[in-house]
Amino acid sequence: MAVISTTEPMILVEPPSVYAARLRMPQRLPPIPATAPTTTPKPTPPVRHRYDDFWTEVVFEILKTNGDYPLRITSVVNEAVKWGKFPIRAEREEHKKMMFRTVGKLIRTCRLDRYKRKFVTVPTSDSRRQAFLAKAAMTIEMPPPCV
């Protein structure tokens, strides 16, 4: 009678035919861990909207040529002014103010995303814009007029 010790490791030897048969059995693949994206998602290309003017398209063109990186609002405005020809300095300065208003309107309507307060980028998804449009389309309950 053989005594099995619980403290010593037990070594089992299988015949080569059993080992070969075990290798032929289909193996389950190990689960693939979900990898986190290492790069930021590409921004969605801006869609031309119905009331876009030339200068709105210039803003998106400047951001597209910059790539996926945020750009200072002042840099966007200064680059946009280079696209126009202004005979006097006062017109150029007025156009700069108009461009700041245009960029601000694009931020408020969720067509541009602010980044660290002074930078803007093209949004990576359209979800904020859709939420803005849904909220804008809601009816407003006004009190009856006081006549």
CB-neighbour burial class of residue 21 (10 A; exposed 0-12, middle 13-18, buried 19+): exposed
**How many angstroms separate the CA atoms of 42 and 117, rounded?**
21
The yes-or-no verdict on residue 93 having pLDDT over 90 is: yes
Could you tell me the pLDDT band of residue 40, with boundaries at 50, 70 and 90? low
Nearest to 80 by CA among 104, 98, 67, 106: 98
At which residue do the structure tokens 């006004």 appear? 142
The yes-or-no verdict on residue 108 having pLDDT over 70 is: yes
Between residues 38 and 28, which one has the greater pLDDT?
28
φ/ψ of residue 74, rounded to 5: -65, -35
pLDDT tens digits along 81-92: 999 889 999 999
Could you tell me the pLDDT band of residue 1, with boundaries at 50, 70 and 90? low
Q: Are 106 and 112 in contact (CB under 8 A)?
A: yes
pLDDT given for residue 16 in this prediction: 84
pLDDT given for residue 20 in this prediction: 82
pLDDT tens digits along 44-83: 666 666 667 888 989 989 998 888 788 999 999 999 999 9
pLDDT given for residue 37 in this prediction: 58
Domains and CATH numbers, the chain: 54-136 (1.10.10)
**How many angstroms separate the CA atoms of 123 and 53, rounded?**
20
